[in-house]
Structure 1
Amino acid sequence: MKFSVLGPAGTFADAAAKAYLATQPDSHVTFDYHPTFDQVYQAVSGDNIGLLPLENQLDGYVSATLQRLQTADVTEIGEITIPVDFGLVANVNQLSKINRIYVQFKTEGQCQKLLSKLPSVQIITTSSNMVSLEKFRSGEPGDAAIIPQSQLAEVSSALKLNNVADQLDNSTRFIIFKANPATAATLSKVVLSTNQFKAPLFITPATNDRPGTLYEILGYFAKVGLNLVTLMSMPTKAKLGVYSFYIEVSGNRDQQEEIFATLKELASNYQVHLLGYYAV
């Protein structure tokens, strides 16, 4: 089986993929590294699986992932959360001598305290933390990079700073997915390996916006005691001002019948795009 993740090896996505595999019995996979979200998504087919970041504790949800899930025919089969921390390397001996700094686009939002100390420094956004490291290694005098803390010992540089994230207990949640579309008929047969489940989905009102729409949607889950752990509004991009709701529902094994009955009821009045049903 091929496991597609953001690469190269050494990224947090790589670490998350390996942490997920450690929870799975008899997992025999070949890692398939790609530099962009789109390439990871496009690479997953057949029985192969992929992994993308969904949410960071400091910087919130990853819009690049959510935008793909909004219309994607995929099935999420699990998730994994790992701690993330960052260090800084520079080829100068003082922060004040840094001219430009390489930083991954989500990492930037998690290291604002450090970057605020460098107001005149040019920030070069990269697609991954390991790309930031590669660009630093082949860079020019005055360059710096924010990289995974685990890579700090592997780099020879004049200046190193440990733990440069805005707080130490930072973490990122990743989703694991397959290419086949999620259907209630298939997922309702899933046997959970734990007592708790999570079901992510998008709900789009079929008519124009009106007062009470969200209240009505939430009522479907409230009346059967299903808990919502995530609620976000996202533009559908079909028309300005038209939005769908990204929702993550949680419950226990005894509520399996309720979740799928609720989704069926919702589908009679709204567009429901189910993404998965898996144990957590």
Structure 2
Amino acid sequence: MKFSVLGPAGTFADAAAKKYLSLHPIKNVEIDYHATFDQVYQAVTPDGIGLLPLENQLDGFVLATLQRLQVADIDEIGEVTVPVNFGLAGKVSSLAEIKRIYVQFKTEGQCQKLLSQLPNAQIITTSSNMVSVEKLQAGMTGDAAIMPQSQLAVQDFPFKLDNVADQTDNNTRFIVFKKQPAVLKLPAQPAAEQPAKFKYAVFVTPPTEEVGVLYQILSYFAKMHLNLVTIMSMPTRRKIGIYSFYIEISGTFDQEAVLVETVKKMTAVYTIHSLGLYAL
């Protein structure tokens, strides 16, 4: 079975995939690397799984992933969070000599303090942090790159800076998914004194925009004491002013009937696009 992730080896996505496999061992699995997150999604086979970044502690939700989830038939089977930190390396002797700096598109938002010190440097966006490393390796004098902190020890460049993220306690959450429509059904509850926890992800789209529409949506969960942990609005692209809401609900397995009944009621009023339910 292939586990499709952003490559090459050494990315935070690679670390997240390996952490997930250490927590959820899968037999005969091969990590399958791809150059972009779109290619990762496209590469997931019917019997395989994929991994996409969903949320960064400093830079928020990954818009490209939410846009994909909004229209894709996927079934989230788990999540994994990994610490992320960055270093800078360059073919220079000081920050002032940097003319071009390679930065992954989400990394840029997590290293604003450093980039503000380089007002005259050209920022070149890359698809992954390891691509930034490769661009620097093939680059010229005056080039620099922001890369995973772990790469500083194995890369040979004349100038290096440790810990260049805006704060050191930074994490990224990834989702693990299958490419199939999600079905709102909880796994069998494990035998334990305390009910295990779950997370359920869904897009809820109202038919029209009206006063109090978000309050109405949230009231379904509040009345049934279901814990909402995430809400993000996304344009539906059908008409300005009509939004779809990405929502994550957490709960315990003894709330199964309540969750299913609540979503069933909402389906009569809203367009419901379930993305999966998994144990935490």
Structures share fold, TM-score greater than 0.5: yes
Q: Which amino acid aligns with 2:226?
A: L
The 3 A distance-change label for structure 1 pair 11 and 243 is same
- 1:17-32 equivalences under 5 Å are 17-32=17-32
Structure 1 residue aligned with 2:215:
215
Deviation at 1:24, TM superposition (A): 1.1
- Tell whether 2:183 aligns with 1:178: no
How many residue pairs match? The answer is: 276
- Tell whether 2:218 aligns with 1:195: no
- Tell whether 2:246 aligns with 1:246: yes
Q: Identity, % of aligned pairs?
A: 63
**RMSD of aligned alpha carbons:** 1.0
What SS class does the counterpart of residue 214 from structure 1 fall into?
helix
- Tell whether 2:201 aligns with 1:204: no
Structure 2 residue aligned with 1:66:
66
Structure 2 residue aligned with 1:48:
48
- Tell whether 2:266 aligns with 1:259: no
The 3 A distance-change label for structure 1 pair 5 and 26 is closer
In 1, Cα distance between equivalents of 2:64 and 2:18: 22
- Tell whether 2:272 aligns with 1:268: no
In 2, Cα distance between equivalents of 1:155 and 1:165: 19
Structure 2 residue aligned with 1:114:
114
What SS class does the counterpart of residue 232 from structure 1 fall into?
strand
Contact map agreement 1:90 1:143 (CA 8 A) in 2: yes
Task: Please identify, of 161-170 and 238-247, the stretch whose mean Cα deviation from structure 2 is larger.
Answer: 238-247
Deviation at 1:192, TM superposition (A): 4.7
Structure 1 residue aligned with 2:152:
152
CA deviation string 1:57-88 (max 9, x = no partner): 00000000000000100000000000000000
Q: Which amino acid aligns with 2:203?
A: F
Contact map agreement 1:192 1:278 (CA 8 A) in 2: no
Q: Which runs of 5+ in 2 are unaligned?
A: none
Deviation at 1:26, TM superposition (A): 4.3
In 2, Cα distance between equivalents of 1:24 and 1:210: 44
TM-score normalised per structure 1: 0.96
In 2, Cα distance between equivalents of 1:173 and 1:26: 20
Deviation at 1:240, TM superposition (A): 2.2
In 2, Cα distance between equivalents of 1:37 and 1:192: 33
In 1, Cα distance between equivalents of 2:87 and 2:211: 48
Q: Which amino acid aligns with 1:113?
A: K
In 1, Cα distance between equivalents of 2:267 and 2:64: 26
TM-score normalised per structure 2: 0.96
In 1, Cα distance between equivalents of 2:47 and 2:277: 17
What SS class does the counterpart of residue 47 from structure 1 fall into?
coil
In 1, Cα distance between equivalents of 2:50 and 2:20: 11
CA deviation string 1:91-138 (max 9, x = no partner): 111100111100000000000000000011000000000000000000
Deviation at 1:28, TM superposition (A): 2.8
Contact map agreement 1:100 1:123 (CA 8 A) in 2: yes
The 3 A distance-change label for structure 1 pair 169 and 245 is same
In 1, Cα distance between equivalents of 2:214 and 2:84: 34
- Tell whether 2:14 aligns with 1:14: yes
Q: Which amino acid aligns with 1:9?
A: A
